[in-house]
Structure 1
Amino acid sequence: MSHTLCFETICVENRQLKNLSYHEARLNKTRQELWGYPDHWNLSELIEIPDSVENDSYKCRLAYNEKIDNIKWEPYTRRTIRKIQRVYHETIDYSFKYEDRAELNTLFAQRNDADEILIIKKGLVTDSLYCNVAFSEGGQWYTPSTPLLPGTQRAFLLDKGLIQEADIFEKNLSKYRWIKLFNAMVSWENAPVLEVELIG
């Protein structure tokens, strides 16, 4: 399948673009690996925050391939997550942040009465629909070493030493107490935390 566009979702707070260097690194890596474009984009030069963006939390969504296709701005409202449903796909591939999320949306439709999904691939935990995840054991937080998409917030937290990578097998989930869901829009401090036993 041809994926014509990829995108970055960048958090904007107090009219400041957050973790921009991580988004820039992923975007430039994507353009090089998917399409062979060697030029390096400096996002701080390419993105101009419009006057309509206020001091609240906003989402900047930048779609691109060879060039920037579009940039959209919208106020951000946090989702409420009370229950998670595990779903399964043995071959799903979302190693780049494709605009085409049809496979992921099909999995999300299997959530029953849950608010979120936890995607299992070949017995290993990957991600939720929109978030990377981490699990607590003995005071340490571990994030799967097998994410579908290594997120920018995940990279930031790994660099800061707040989380560690580990192979997390579905069969071993019960050894963890908590699950935390985070992404570019949801900082570690504001990330939802649920008991692992609430994963259906």
Structure 2
Amino acid sequence: MEIMAGSCWAFAAVAAMEGMNKIRTGELVSLSEQVLVDCDSLSSGCDGGRSDTALSLVAARGGITSEERYPYSGFQGKCDVDKLLFDHQASVKGFNAVPCNNERQLALAVARQPVTVYIDASGFEFQFYAGGIYRGPCSGNPARVNHAVTIVGYCEDEGEGNKYWIAKNSWSNDWGDQGYIYLAKDVPWKTGTCALASSPFYPTA
């Protein structure tokens, strides 16, 4: 699988961990993307990475520090090992993969907590998405994925073909619908819209 461009991989992983922690503790804590950018040796910082290796790193350390204590800088720096190892504001014990290419299994997982997914976000229409259910154009080929987002829920509006996933993006609240995109759900091809069902992951506590 391709390494995701930029630091979207870290933001997607952190959004999933923030959601899990909120569900478990009742408290929404902003967690640190920068600790992943700096410390995940299997990724390349702001030049790309993978959400699953980020989740694996945090699970191996037992937790993750907060955004307040390890703020985002926008570039890869030296890993603060003390914060990586000992300053944990949210507990993470592991992570699981959702069975690939199965939107039904993905829905079961999302009903419990946010899930990271990889998608093809290369299209002009995706870049300038401003609302509504996004159906493409984009590739359903897992080999073409180049971006990571976090699916936080799903909806089924009245009418035929109005099912959609609610995905949190990392391109600021000025993009899309206040930072979110609605991706068509239960499409005829098994990999899902923009290949979102090809490789989903979620953290466990």
Q: Would you tell me which structure has more strand in proportion to its own residues?
A: 1
Give TM-score, length-normalised by structure 1. 0.33
Larger Rg: 1
Give TM-score, length-normalised by structure 2. 0.33
- Which is bigger in relative contact order (C-alpha 8 A, separation at least 6)? 2
Q: Would you tell me which structure has more helix in proportion to its own residues?
A: 2
